[in-house]
Structure 1
Amino acid sequence: MVAAVKTRSEGERMIDATDERRIDAVQFEAMAEEAVDRFVPEADFGAMAVIFNMVRLSGRVVADLEKTVHRPAGLTWASWRVMFALWVAGDLEPRVLAHLSGVSRASISATLNTLERDGHIVRSRSDSDRRVVTVSITDKARATIAEVVVRQSAREKTWASVLSADEQKSFVRALRKMLAFHVPPVGSTGQPHGTNEEPE
């Protein structure tokens, strides 16, 4: 069925409830811009397009990797990131692990509990300061990572294959520039600035 797009008196676009057409990403983005323009005429649609597409792409990639790589190995996206960070950086305190893995401090404890229950990590306390907890991966985790990283690498290659080698390099440079960018809190008079650290 061809969509019936109605125009209300105030100019608002509306898709008929009986519409069976699949709205593609480009159409949806254009519709989103129109919707925002009605309320924020001064909106920066270039910036909106950057964030809009970055978020959509990130969500699609994460969902695909979870479905095709992590869940078959009995892992979630969060548990994989934690295990991978420990595999790369070695033993870490939970707060450092949360930062490097991108898992929030609020959920790192639950993720570690699950990994510990499944035999992937162990937690130990420092002999000199019992308040300090260190997280380490087990041999079981190393064996799992050795298998998962091969499958994930192949999947990453498939995702990136749509870009040329030069496009990949340019894309990575742009992403790293944004990752090093700290936006000041709402209401702050400070100026946005770059940093070598990723924002938490």
Structure 2
Amino acid sequence: MRWVNIHLFNEDGELLPEEMETINQLTKIPIHSLNLDAIAVVTNVYRVAQGLRNKMEREVLSEYGLSWTAFSMLYDLWIWESIETKKLAESAGVSKATVSNITKTLERKELCYRKSDTRDRRMTFVALTDKGKQVMEKLYPRFHVGEIEIVSGLSIDEQKSMTKLLRKVIRENHF
């Protein structure tokens, strides 16, 4: 099965005729009944998310041996200091099993530790170690430079507009 070549968007992010024909062939749905704007938005958001993740893992996080998800968890711990595993999973957008696996790796690196709630032993919290805090204090400024680079082609007004629109999608879909 052939997939839509997502690299055929023009500079305005619109689907090109070749892409529309590919979609038509794949879906056997008349092209006029497809919402091409929705396809373009979702495909571009996906490409940006994947590109951002790959760039940051390759250029910033690899030096610390961190994946995107491990960094996301450390970031949450850096902000909150200690967080219950269920909430950490929700915040990072992963399962509790993934939190458990990544926490084990981060514990081996001495960046965090687990502790049980003294009142309810079923609840487990993950907390940042001093070493984890030091790593985040060194890492985050470099990460932020990457964030700036990624949006450097947009004006401040375009960045604010994009933020507003993406937050609307997040709110409406309860992401």
What band does the TM-score fall into relative to the shorter chain? 0.7 to 0.9
Deviations 1:40-63 (A, max 9, x none): 221100100000111011111110
- Given the superposition, is the C-alpha separation of residues 125 and 105 from structure 1 closer, same or farther in structure 2, using an over 3 Å criterion? closer
The aligned amino acid for 1:40 is I
- Could you tell me which of 141, 155, 159 is aligned with 2:146? 155
Match of 1:78 in 2: 69
Aligned residue runs from structure 1 range 139-150, under 5 A: 139-150=130-141
User: Structure with the greater relative contact order (CA < 8 A, sep ≥ 6): 1 or 2?
Assistant: 2
Offset of residue 153 of structure 1: 0.8
1:24 shift after superposition: 4.6
Q: CA RMSD in A?
A: 2.0
Pair 1:40–1:106, CA change in 2 (3 A): farther
Asked if the contact 1:81/1:102 (under 8 Å) is kept, the reply is: no
TM-score by length of structure 2 reads 0.86
Q: Does 1:136 align with 2:119?
A: no
Identity across matched positions, percent: 30
Q: 1:168 aligns with which of 152, 155, 159?
A: 159
Pairwise CA distance, 1:32: 3.5
DSSP 3-state at the match of 1:123 = strand
Tell me if 1:40 matches 2:23: no
Give the whole-Å Cα distance in 2 for the aligned partners of 1:146 and 1:95: 25
Structure 2 gap ranges (5+): none
The alignment's TM-score, normalised by the length of structure 1, stands at 0.75
Aligned to 2:171: 180
Superposition pairs of residues 67-146 of structure 1, within 5 angstroms: 67-146=58-137
* Contact kept in structure 2, 1:91 and 1:134, CA below 8 Å: yes
Q: Which runs of 4+ in 1 moved over 6 A?
A: none
Unaligned runs of 5+ in 1: 1-12, 14-22, 183-197
